[in-house]
Amino acid sequence: GFLAEADDADATTPRAPVVAVMGHVDHGKTSLLDALRTTDVAAAEAGGITQHIGAYQVRLKDGQRVTFLDTPGHAAFSAMRARGANVTDIVILVVAADDGVMPQTVEAIQHAKAAGAPLIVAVNKIDKPDANPQKVVNELLQHEVIAESLGGDTQVIEVSAKARTNLDGLLDAILLQAEVMDLRANPDRSAEGVVIEAKLDKGRGPVGTVLVKRGTLRRGDIVVAGSAWGKVRALLDERNAQLEEAGPAMPVEILGLDEPPSPGEVFAVVDSEARARELTEYRHRVKREKTQAAGGAVSLADMMAKLQTKKVNELPVVIKADVQGSAEAIVGSLDKMGNDEVRARTVYSGAGGITESDVNLAKSAGAPILGFNVRASKQARDLAEREGVEIRYYSIIYDLLDDMKGVLSGMLAPLQRETFLGNAQVLQVFDITKVGKVAGCRVTEGVVRKGARVRIVRDDVVVLELGVLNTLKRFKDEVNEVPSGQECGMQFQGFQDIKEGDYIECFTVEEVKRTL
Ligand code: GDP
């Protein structure tokens, strides 16, 4: 995901870490985010007047920077992860020293683990007379979060958001963790990033808060964010100051989009308005088709389709069983089941009925839930239905394993083996009444064949999958095949934007079934 892109060969310049704050309700997430905001060297001068934009960056005395996602709670974090936008480098787990580890603390630990983000524990409310940080450390141990003081690798920092105690210590811990992670990005390229928040503002129109991940975003850039696009009219920071540009790990509000983009959506700068229109039109259509097809469901079938196209070879699963022993047995057998190509990955396993928290976790990991001798609560069932998370129930371990073996076998690549047939270049496009677009082409390589699959390649980029080639003509005659060097006519429905110079790639797809 996005984290991995930090390893790009061109990612040479150190960047600020992106930090999310999570924890149980009332443990002080909001207070801590507010307190940390004031550690910025310029915060005092600006009089502390800030507007909420979903993320902010603090600049420290030594010039180092830290970006905080100002969206406390797990919902925003999961929403972004569910869309595959893993923007968080480090998770600050806030635990109140007078209350200790609570259900949402455990949930936050699971979320961070599923995202592969290292944790730093902020033991908050240390000013309280009944604060007991040692108890917090011990409780965390039961959830495999092992403090440095106990020989583990998790930094535990005692703070008070209210008394503003040891905020420097927390910042130092973040910077240390960031240094270990060696976070880098390339500022000298066109900008890419993620939408953190968006709204429709009465005066200013659609406003999106974006976090730049790579490159530098500038005023006047043409930006595509999901199905929204526009020319960036203004860049604003959380003090409402106009910026000329924003580099990696910098959060900014942007004005100028044609509609509010969805949080978690990826944005990128493109080189022309025409390209932006082309992309957004295509995405609008995909969005419509997706909504019609599945309502955004996370079913095993969807997962498999996604895994095949993305060539990811892991099937994430959440396992709930009646007792810990059976959960462990299932996880153990699933671990052994796969091979180098495919395997199941247990994002979470536990004993007890299926809860709403399990469903949220499954949703954010894109995983189905496998229940062994357990059932989902009514609330969990309703949530799973709404979120489109699949729950499968089993009462025999062998059945569960057999079923998963079938699913994993179905994921073995390549299920669809593509064979290249040929390329044709578009020489001229005719718009014929009642018929639609007809492309006059010359076959430049191999053959083109009626009934084969086709896609459009423009400047070596696949811009559209067209489906099957239904009409292939040479002069007035319908033909089955046209070889290299000859000219032909091809007709397409549904794609209005075919252009001279485009290549039409012709290929066949063969279904190959395999089993583990
Ligand atoms: P959130 O639900 O995690 O965002 O928690 P809040 O930031 O809203 O804090 C919950 C309550 O705890 C509020 O009444 C805060 O004033 C209080 N609180 C937060 N941090 C501290 C702290 O360090 N010390 C004390 N004594 N109270 C705190």
Mind giving me the DSSP string for 239-279?
A: T--EESEE-TT-EEEEEEESSPPPTT-EEEEES-HHHHHHH
Predicted pLDDT of residue 477:
92
Whether 30 has a binding-site annotation, put simply, is yes
| Residue of 25, 26, 74, 104 with the most ligand 1 atoms within 8 Å of its CB, for mutation | 26
Predicted pLDDT of residue 5:
42
Whether 73 has a binding-site annotation, put simply, is yes
Reported as a single tens digit per residue, the pLDDT across 297-354 is 444 555 445 444 444 478 889 999 999 888 988 998 998 887 777 889 898 899 999 9
Nearest-CA residue for ligand 1 atom 11 is 26
Nearest-CA residue for ligand 1 atom 24 is 125
Q: Which of 503, 511, 509 is nearest to 455 (CA)?
A: 503
CA of 132 to the centre of ligand 1 (A): 16
Per DSSP, the residues of 448-482 read EETTSEEEEEETTEEEEEEEE--EEEETTEE-SEE
Predicted pLDDT of residue 263:
77
CA of 28 to the centre of ligand 1 (A): 4
Q: Which of 168, 174, 159 is nearest to 124 (CA)?
A: 159
- Given a contact cutoff of 8 angstroms between Cβ atoms, the answer to whether 19 and 88 are in contact is yes
Whether 74 has a binding-site annotation, put simply, is yes
Index of the ligand 1 atom closest to the CA of residue 160: 23
Whether 63 has a binding-site annotation, put simply, is no
Whether 125 has a binding-site annotation, put simply, is yes
Length of the chain: 516
Paired strand residues for 369: 318, 391
The CA-based angle 206-233-248, given to 5 degrees, is 90
Whether 423 has a binding-site annotation, put simply, is no
Which two tokens mark 392? 């499968």
Nearest-CA residue for ligand 1 atom 2 is 26
Whether 25 has a binding-site annotation, put simply, is yes
Residue 55: exposed, middle, or buried by beta-carbon count in 10 A (0-12, 13-18, 19+)? Answer: buried
CA of 98 to the centre of ligand 1 (A): 11
Index of the ligand 1 atom closest to the CA of residue 23: 3
Which two tokens mark 333? 């057998």
Index of the ligand 1 atom closest to the CA of residue 128: 26
Q: Which of 454, 453, 438 is nearest to 487 (CA)?
A: 438
Instruction: Give me the residues of the chain with pLDDT under 50, please.
Output: 1-7, 291-299, 303-304, 306-312
CA of 30 to the centre of ligand 1 (A): 7
Whether 266 has a binding-site annotation, put simply, is no
CA of 118 to the centre of ligand 1 (A): 24
Index of the ligand 1 atom closest to the CA of residue 165: 23
CA of 8 to the centre of ligand 1 (A): 40
| Residue of 31, 32, 70 with the most ligand 1 atoms within 8 Å of its CB, for mutation | 31
Predicted pLDDT of residue 72:
64
Pocket of ligand 1 (CB under 6 A): 23, 25-31, 72, 124-125, 127-128, 160-162
CA of 25 to the centre of ligand 1 (A): 9
Cα of first residue to Cα of last residue in the chain, in angstroms, is 27
CA of 125 to the centre of ligand 1 (A): 7
Per DSSP, the residues of 137-198 read HHHHHTTT--BGGGTSSBEEEE-BTTTTBSHHHHHHHHHHHHHHHT-EE-SSSB-EEEEEEE
Please tell me the distance from the alpha carbon of residue 264 to that of residue 271, in angstroms, as a whole number. 23
Please tell me the distance from the alpha carbon of residue 413 to that of residue 307, in angstroms, as a whole number. 10
Please tell me the distance from the alpha carbon of residue 347 to that of residue 360, in angstroms, as a whole number. 12
Q: Which of 361, 336, 339 is nearest to 349 (CA)?
A: 361
Please tell me the distance from the alpha carbon of residue 516 to that of residue 513, in angstroms, as a whole number. 10
* Cα-only R_g, the chain: 26
CA of 27 to the centre of ligand 1 (A): 6
Whether 24 has a binding-site annotation, put simply, is yes
Predicted pLDDT of residue 416:
67
- Given a contact cutoff of 8 angstroms between Cβ atoms, the answer to whether 222 and 190 are in contact is no
ipTM given for this complex: 0.99
Question: Whole-prediction pTM value?
Answer: 0.60
- Given a contact cutoff of 8 angstroms between Cβ atoms, the answer to whether 422 and 448 are in contact is yes
